[in-house]
Amino acid sequence: MRNWKKIFFIYFSTFLLFYFSTFANAAFESRTFLARPAGMCGAFVSISNDANAPFYNPAGLNLFSATSLSFSQVSLYGESSLKYQDFGFSLPTVKLGSFALNMTSFGSGFYREKETIFTHSFLLTQGGYIGYNLRFLSLDIENTSSASSFAFDFGALGLVSTKLAIGFVMKGLNRPQIAGEDIYRELSYGVSLRPFRGMVSAFEWVIPADRDENIFHSGIEFTVTPSFCMRFGIQTYPIQTSFGFGLMLKFFDIDYAFQTHESLSNQHLFSLSFRWGEKRELAAPAKYRRKKKKKTRKVKSRISAPSGEIVEKVNINTADVSELDSLPGIGKVTAHRIVEYRKAHGPFKSIEDLLNVPRFRKRVLEKIRDYIYVGKVSEEEVPEEEFPPEEEEEKPEKPARKKLSEGEITKLKKQYYYQGLKLYQAGNYEEAIKFFEKILKLDPTHPQSIRLIEKCKRAIENRK
């Protein structure tokens, strides 16, 4: 509760600073020019979980765990004199949060606006993110004049639950001016609702500083397949509608949007982004808040690595989403599908039954075959108090061993490291240590895991 009070205090203070400032007409107006947000008519303040975050809510950049290069170019409403270009780079870090650098250009040779935007976003508290933009602006008017200025934006994003997120952003908080005129400023509130996995709806209220009319945006995005999604949106003042789609492939994302306008021409928007790391989430992540579970004692099958270390197999009848997500080739979406199928149809009778899970591929089954097994639920999860005394416990049968190849060990290390890193960033240090210790079982000298375990232990001590 105290952490949410901190977020509210920051929100209320910055709102007062913005609200009691004087208003004037401005240059460098906000424009919906990036394809993914444009497909939702700009309703993106409470989502902002990809490389588009600096333009809508810088706080959301820390939700994007991949390093990326992005590019976008469009002639707004088909006018060659309204050409917009953007080139961006984003980089997540373990301890300092996420950073991004974007360079944009808008206009023709006669009139051109340029921006260099530096963005920093970090986790303030569990489920609460803040971020800011430092924008360096320049305006060139052919044969007339040129000028430059500096603007500061601030945003916050709160993941209230796995289904609800709220956000707000203030653009031009320092009341910047260029050539004696105020630069466009606005205050935006947003809320997004995720009624079920694979769908997110967003609503947004924008209060421009230089005009009386407020603007309302609403949009929806839903997953058709793990690599393809559709978007729709609507906006008031001016009245606009939009639709679009996104392709999320192995190393890059392609987004397209089509927008209508009440008085101007329709327009098509394309964006391309190269990504190194996980695919972007379509809504609030599910791991930032975990409910405490009743302690259980698990009996797991094991396989041996070439180094002689023992690696635990995963029982697909009792594994939760995080355990399934750690398997090679399994992501969060597929892990949720497995758990939901198991709840609906009961325990799996064989490994091949996984092929009955919607959109579960045979090639994925072959990747994880050596890391999973089918066990009885009653034998796998029994409340600890129901176990007989230690001396009466029967020792489990010695499991069969299978050697892992170097390639399989490398994949396992990557999976464990990625899971531990996500938990470390979210402040769940105890769970993070478990994944780093699994890496040390495979590679006892792994330097990153040793270093992060020490950091986790220090953070746990400081929290007491």
Could you report the per-residue pLDDT of 300-353, keeping only the tens digit for each?
A: 455 544 444 445 688 898 888 888 888 888 888 888 889 888 888 888 888 888
For residue 259, give the nearest of 237, 234, 230 by alpha carbon. Answer: 234
User: Structure pTM?
Assistant: 0.59
* Span 259-313, pLDDT tens digits: 998 888 888 999 999 998 766 654 334 343 344 444 444 444 555 444 444 456 8
Map out the domains of the chain as residue ranges.
2-276, 315-399
Q: How many CA atoms lie within 13 A of 22 on its CB side?
A: 5
> Which pLDDT score is estimated for 313?
82
Q: Cα separation of 151 and 173, whole Å?
A: 7
> Which pLDDT score is estimated for 289?
37
State the average pLDDT over residues 438-445.
86
> Which pLDDT score is estimated for 67?
92
> Which pLDDT score is estimated for 291?
41
User: Is pLDDT above 60 for 43?
Assistant: yes
Lookup: tokens for 278:
């996980």
Lookup: tokens for 35:
């394809």
State the average pLDDT over residues 227-244.
93
> Which pLDDT score is estimated for 285?
42
State the average pLDDT over residues 201-214.
89
User: Is pLDDT above 70 for 417?
Assistant: yes
- Picking from 6-20, 192-206, 256-270, 444-458, which range would have the lowest pLDDT averaged per residue? 6-20
- When the pLDDT of each residue in the chain is averaged and rounded to a whole number, the result is 80
% of the chain surpassing 70 pLDDT: 79
- Picking from 128-142, 199-213, 214-228, 380-394, which range would have the lowest pLDDT averaged per residue? 380-394
User: Is pLDDT above 50 for 216?
Assistant: yes
CATH code, residues 315-399: 1.10.150.280
- Picking from 107-111, 119-123, 161-165, 428-432, which range would have the lowest pLDDT averaged per residue? 107-111
State the average pLDDT over residues 24-35.
64
- Picking from 196-200, 205-209, 232-236, which range would have the lowest pLDDT averaged per residue? 196-200
> Which pLDDT score is estimated for 27?
56
CATH code, residues 2-276: 2.40.160.60
> Which pLDDT score is estimated for 59?
96
* Span 68-88, pLDDT tens digits: 999 998 887 777 777 889 999
State the average pLDDT over residues 146-157.
94
The most confident of the ranges 52-61, 171-180, 320-329, 334-343 is 52-61
